[in-house]
Chain A
Amino acid sequence: MSAATHDGYYVPHGSHWPIVGSIGLTTLLGGFASMLNGSTMGGKLMIAGVVIVLIMMFGWFGTVIRESESGYYNEQVDKSFRWGMSWFIFSEVMFFAAFFGALFYARAFSIPWIGGEGNNLMTNLVLWNSWEATWPTNGPANVGGDYQVMGAWGLPALNTLILLTSGVTVTWAHWALKKQNRSQLILGLLATVVLGFLFVGLQAVEYGHAYHEMNLTLESGIYGSTFFMLTGFHGFHVTMGATMLTVILFRAMSGHFTPDRHFAFEAVAWYWHFVDVVWLGLFIFVYWL
């Protein structure tokens, strides 16, 4: 690959990473599906799939980074990446919207209906023995048995603080990047990464507490379902974000990014802010109200 500068739109030649990605994804999901069906091979296949997907990501992103560092990408390519990332984040927003939708639906409709509101008086009287609607709830059949509600003002509040702070540190790092202050950039990124993983760790502690001491599980009716699915997918995204931030940190340490050309940094920062905003929604609607 020549290192000459180019001013045209960079159209890469054929790449085998996509097909590797497809094979990996299929192995991963096929393995998971077999596992759910009780096959013993499933788990192994799934791990193989994860490994292939990781190889693909390293290879693919590696190529992109190399091309970027060699100056193949002009401003227009950069813009394509920006549009791509923004719309990807929008798609993630809509993914979470489905689960928030489920939460709102349960709280605004299904629970009150089972409790006899609207046109559902008979539902309540005939099927559910005059059960009284409340929130949070594991449903009229007390699915999963008695449980305790996760309060908002302990760990979750602390986690809110941690995540908000990490939003500040990443911005601080961004300023540093623009001012060409590399040590502040690295410090800011390091702090963000640490806060990110701290958040994930505390979340794990919270889950352990919920499962072992509170009998609050995925099986605790609609409350448990929405609680764990929302916080779980969010936690997964934080982990992804923190991992990407780690990559950015290493790249920053090896001298990548210039004040006016650092799309990868910004993309990850956008992603991080998105994860932050989702958390605020979670904190308000899942834990607090």
Chain B
Amino acid sequence: MSEATTHDAHDHHDHGPAKGLMRWVTTTNHKDIGTLYLLFSLLMFFIGGAMAMVIRAELFEPGMQVVNPHFFNQMTTNHALIMIFGAVMPAFVGLANWLIPMMIGAPDMALPRMNNWSFWILPFAFTMMLSTIFMDGGAPAAGWTIYPPLVLQTGDAFPFMIFAIHMMGISSVMGAINVIATILNMRAPGMTLMKMPLFVWTWLITAYLLIAVMPVLAGAVTMLLTDKYFGTSFFTAAGGGDPVMYQHIFWFFGHPEVYILILPAFGIVSQIIPTFARKPLFGYSSMVYASASIAFLSFIVWAHHMFTVGMPVAGELFFMYATMLIAVPTGVKVFNWVSTMWKGSMTFETPMLFALGFVVLFTIGGFSGLMLAIAPSDFQYHDTYFVVAHFHYVLVTGAIFAIMGAAYYWLPKWTGHMYNETLGKWHFWLSTITVNILFFPQHFLGLAGMPRRIPDYSVQFAEFNMISSIGGFAFGLSQLLFAYIVISTIRGGAKATDKVWDGAEGLEWTLSSPPPYHSFSEAPEVK
């Protein structure tokens, strides 16, 4: 590893940021870009959440009251696309930007200008995506999985949606390339791979997944485009294609994608728990191997989303067994977290609460995932609210909880201010209680036979839907508290110490709070 000191073209000038709005538009600084990503992600979370509120309002009681069925489907579709590509992924990239250089002792990301571009594509992509709501025929309404032939019935929005997805893909691939180059090339001397914090490891693997599958999504949606406008027959039986072929290509992307949405969360939780247990992470190397196994397996399980499409039995069996296997490395992770707490000396500040909430609720989501993996049972669960419950447990109480935990954990480092601990705890408890009121009853709805993606339902499903909607509104309102806490911490508050947390370990805590504009101008020593 060569020396990792910083140097810039105008080093006789000050090292601080440029002034005004252009600072944010032209910045090449990993902290600025990280901030942009995180704020963008918060905005998207609120927009996607507002759409979820429309969904829950329509489902509040039987009958059609709030929106028409077509608009309902537009909400479902865009809610998911925005939450996944606009909220969770950019939040993780924002955290990567802020933290990876600080954690490995680097001056900045490896490719700073490209880093800026990765971010600045996103506002354009999502403006394009959201503008489709006002187009002739409305926004895309075929679900986030945009299956043909249905999606080919989309109106003017169709090509805009495809190109918005292309742009999101370009952004993620560039972001991922940057992360890999940074991790492989910018570590401080002595920071060997097996000394890297787990957040860095999980991001390395995530970046690999991103580069492997985002282009496949790009290919899939390109085929949709040519099927619609250029007369190709990829997904039409008459010409020798197959609508199900799209599903295979989509899920070859889509399944690794869901691990893209959780691996960095695993990393975050693996940073937080040891800090507040005041005890080193149990089974560091098995954590690394488990993450790698999950990533590997994620490439060979995709068709568990397609058990009902009529695959040959041998295919169904293969995908069932492979999917079940993922429980093993994921279990290793859960057991390691519990063992880290075992015989620790635990305290329960807000980040720790979110991490603990994550462990319990993500595991519940994992269990329902395992149930879905059982092909014959999935014949009953598939496309019902049981699936909706499963993925919101892993996504909301998984990914989103981890992101919120991360925000509380590192905010004092980023801003130099302590957040309000009391409000933080309120936020955690409100979120945890309401999110379960929101999503737990959806298991029952699914088992009782309520299909997903419907704007209206038979009266037997009324009570649980109303409970779920009430939980949903309450959970949504609780997130206003989060926004308030974050903003007020940015603007002021008690001064944070450099180490912030009693049990914190790692290079980022050796820097001042907030850290200097260029973190490690001189490479730190790593023992």
Contact surface of A with B, Cβ cutoff 8 Å: 1-2, 6-19, 21-23, 25-26, 29-30, 32-33, 36-37, 60, 67, 72, 74-76, 79-81, 83-84, 87-88, 90-92, 94-99, 101-102, 105-106, 109-111, 113-114, 118-119, 127-128, 137-141, 143-144, 217-219, 221-226, 228-229
Contacts and interface: CB of A to CB of B under 8 A. Distances in A.
A139 B181 contact: no
B78 interface: no
B273 to A, nearest CB: 31
Nearest to B123: A22
Contact of A141 (B6, B222, B238): B238
Interface string B350-362: 0000000000000
Contacts of A119: 310, 312-313
A217 B22 CA distance: 49
A72 B267 CA distance: 35
Given A9-B5, A9-B6, A30-B160, A114 B237 contact: yes
Nearest to A67: B9
B112 A12 contact: yes
Contacts of A13: 8-10, 18, 28
A16 B123 CA distance: 16
A225 B28 CA distance: 42
Nearest to B171: A22
B86 to A, nearest CB: 16
Interface in B1-50: 2-10, 18, 22-23, 25-29
Contacts of A10: 7-9
A202 B177 CA distance: 35
B156 A138 contact: no
Interface stretch (B208-216, B341-349, B441-449, B456-464): B208-216
B312 A36 contact: no
A7 B232 contact: no
Contacts of A102: 219, 223, 234, 245, 249
Given A33-B159, A111-B240, A138-B240, A26 B124 contact: yes
B163 A32 contact: yes
B205 to A, nearest CB: 14
B216 A106 contact: no
Interface in B294-344: 310, 312-313
B137 to A, nearest CB: 10
14 contacts: A9-B7, A11-B518, A12-B8, A29-B166, A67-B9, A80-B186, A92-B215, A94-B216, A138-B239, A140-B240, A144-B239, A223-B240, A225-B233, A225-B239
Interface of B: 2-10, 18, 22-23, 25-29, 106-108, 110-114, 116-117, 120-121, 123-124, 128, 156, 158-160, 162-163, 166-167, 170, 173, 176-178, 180-182, 184-186, 211-216, 218-220, 222-223, 225-226, 229-234, 236-242, 244-245, 248-249, 252, 310, 312-313, 518, 521
B128 A26 contact: yes
A110 B4 CA distance: 53
Contacts of B184: 83
Contacts of A91: 173, 177, 211-212, 214-215
B181 A83 contact: yes
Q: B162, B230, B234 — which one has the most chain A CB atoms within 10 A of its CB?
A: B234
A15 B230 contact: no
User: B interface, by DSSP: helix, strand, loop or mixed?
Assistant: helix
Given A102-B219, A102-B249, 7 more contacts: A8-B6, A12-B112, A18-B113, A98-B220, A98-B223, A140-B238, A221-B238
A127 B236 CA distance: 13
Among A106, A119, A224, A225, the one with the most B-chain Cβ atoms within 10 Å of its Cβ is: A225
Of B9, B27, B112, B222, which is in contact with the most chain A CB atoms at under 10 Å from its CB? B9
A56 to B, nearest CB: 9
Contact of B159 (A9, A32, A138): A32
B21 to A, nearest CB: 11
B254 to A, nearest CB: 13
A11 B22 CA distance: 18
B132 to A, nearest CB: 10
Contact of B181 (A30, A84, A219): A84
A106 B261 CA distance: 31
A14 B121 contact: no
A16 B223 contact: no
A80 B114 CA distance: 12
A14 B18 contact: yes
B108 A11 contact: yes
B237 A94 contact: no
Shortest beta-carbon contacts, A-B, top 5: A98-B219, A8-B7, A14-B26, A139-B240, A222-B240
A21 B117 contact: yes
A110 B240 contact: yes
A60 B227 CA distance: 35
A100 B89 CA distance: 28
A87 B180 contact: yes
B5 A16 contact: no
A47 to B, nearest CB: 16
Nearest to B177: A87
Given A7-B7, A110-B242, A229-B226, A143 B233 contact: yes
A267 B18 CA distance: 33
Contacts of A105: 242, 245, 248
A127 B238 CA distance: 10
B116 A9 contact: no
Contacts of B128: 26, 29-30
Contacts of A110: 237, 240-242, 244-245
Contact of A118 (B25, B211, B312, B518): B312
Contacts of A17: 113, 117
B239 to A, nearest CB: 4
A219 B229 CA distance: 11
Contacts of A229: 222-223, 226, 232
Contact of B4 (A1, A30, A76): A76
Contacts of B124: 22-23, 25-26
Contacts of A106: 240-242, 245
Contacts of A223: 240
B27 A14 contact: yes
A67 B8 CA distance: 11
A162 B201 CA distance: 44
Contacts of B222: 98, 229
Count chain B CB atoms within 10 A of each CB in A19, A87, A228 and give the residue with the most. Answer: A87
A173 to B, nearest CB: 27
Nearest to A99: B219
A281 B181 CA distance: 29
